[in-house]
Amino acid sequence: MSDFLMPSLGADMEAGTLAEWRVAPGDRVEKGQIIAVVETAKGAIDVEVFESGVVEECYVGPNTRVPVGTPLARIGGGERVVHDRPEPGAVDEPATVPEAETEAPSPGPRPPSPAGGGPSPGASPAARRRARELGLYLERVAGSGPGGAVVLRDLEGAGGEVSSAPGRPGGGGEPTEMRRAIAAAMTRSKREIPHYYLATTLDLQAAEGWLEAYNRDQPPVSRLLMAALFMKATARALVSYPDLNGHYEAQGFRPAERVDLGMAIHLRAGGLIAPAICGAEALALPELMARLQDLVQRTRSGGLRASEVGTATATVTALGERGVDTVYGVIQPPQVAMIGFGRVRRRPLAVDDMLAIRPAVDLSQAADHRVCDGHLGARFLNEIDAQLQHPEAL
């Protein structure tokens, strides 16, 4: 028997709001099953359980904001044992719902938190999810459910009649809250981490030629992008240089056992999230490409899992699609490396004492000087280059 805790979904997260239970006491749950939705400054995150068992008790009701590490529920073998209810330790930012709702000890019919900001009526889980997808303020929707609660039918046609939350990213939090979270994390990074920066230019002739040949025989849905090669080459290089793959914590640097490679994804309404592709070094290119596309879609529409947020062991940022030649990233604590790719463009390169026009990309790295120095960082960048010169082996 163990407690299910409010997870830490990033180094900048101190508390979260339990938005919705997906289970009730007595339900059997399996390891990896989504059992709750947690609202953070960067959006609504689906939270999985990490052990199989039976939900014996839910300590915290929906729309309650509690610190990271607060017990939310008890997972056991099904033999209900009566314990004193743990104090959830609600933080200074109370949920905007009546007290009776925030104190509900277990799930059941209940109004989750609003899709937009500000006070709102209650809403069914289905209506809340749909409003999040549409970016609507629920307080502007007249509810026809019990007690005036907003239900799914109330949102039919609401997209053209109800003002959307301005600048609200799909499935994400309020933009101002996201900017505050990003600012806090980056300020901490620049204050605590002694960054050093390196950059080089990679010849992509071999990678581009292989990619064109591969895609020629594939249907459009199965074709690869250069981004997949960049991610796989980076993941493999991190295996060879474990001093750049892991977390720097109070006890010092802890290398990771696998490469959970974060990808900085821009949200259409502003801000960004960098969820992880877990075990990226072991994925074949087609699977890595599929995971990357799925991750981008869910980041922008909602549906990220806790195992994908705040767990990256290193992160890639790529701004080539924005026309940027070189990007110098800021390390995301507690990671120790940020790898950047600019745009792929044709440029003059010296090849075998001759001048040639080749596809090329600027590769950069920000790394933590507490863990390694520029000598190791340079070898790491050279390893990424070496991987991309033999794309058939990726």
pLDDT at res. 2:
85
pLDDT at res. 375:
96
Model confidence at 146, pLDDT cuts 50, 70, 90, reads low
**What is 133-175 written as a DSSP string?**
HHTB-GGGS---SGGG-B-GGGGTTGGGTSPBPTTPPTT---H
C-alpha radius of gyration, the chain, whole number? 23
Asked if residue 252 lies in contact with residue 243, where contact means CB atoms within 8 angstroms, the answer is no
In this model, does residue 114 exceed pLDDT 80?
A: no
pLDDT at res. 310:
79
Is the domain covering 2-173 a CATH 2.40.50.100 domain?
yes
pLDDT at res. 58:
92
More confident residue, 87 or 268: 268
Distance CA 201, CA 5 (A): 45
Whether omega for the bond prior to residue 86 falls within 30 degrees of 0, making it cis, is no
Examine domains 2-173 and 193-393 and report if their fold is the same: no
pLDDT at res. 176:
75
- Residue 255 has phi, psi (to 5 degrees) of -65, 150
In this model, does residue 106 exceed pLDDT 80?
A: no
Most confident of 64-68, 268-272, 370-374: 370-374
Q: Mean per-residue pLDDT for 212-236?
A: 96
Q: Mean per-residue pLDDT for 248-277?
A: 91
Domain boundaries, the chain: 2-173, 193-393
Instruction: Extract the runs of DSSP E, i.e. beta strands, from the chain.
Output: 2-5, 15-21, 28-29, 34-40, 43-48, 53-58, 64-67, 71-76, 195-203, 246-249, 252-255, 261-263, 265-266, 272-273, 276-277, 304-305, 314-318, 337-341, 345-351, 354-368
Q: Which of 185, 273, 287 is nearest to 231 (CA)?
A: 287
What does the mean pLDDT of the chain come to? Answer: 82
More confident residue, 253 or 176: 253
Is the domain covering 193-393 a CATH 3.30.559.10 domain?
yes
More confident residue, 316 or 3: 316
What the block records as the tokens of 16 is: 């979260």
Residues 8-67: tens digit of each pLDDT: 877 778 888 998 899 999 999 999 899 999 988 777 889 998 889 999 999 999 888 989
pLDDT at res. 7:
86
Asked if residue 355 lies in contact with residue 212, where contact means CB atoms within 8 angstroms, the answer is no
pLDDT at res. 162:
40
More confident residue, 144 or 330: 330
Question: What global pTM score does this model have?
Answer: 0.72
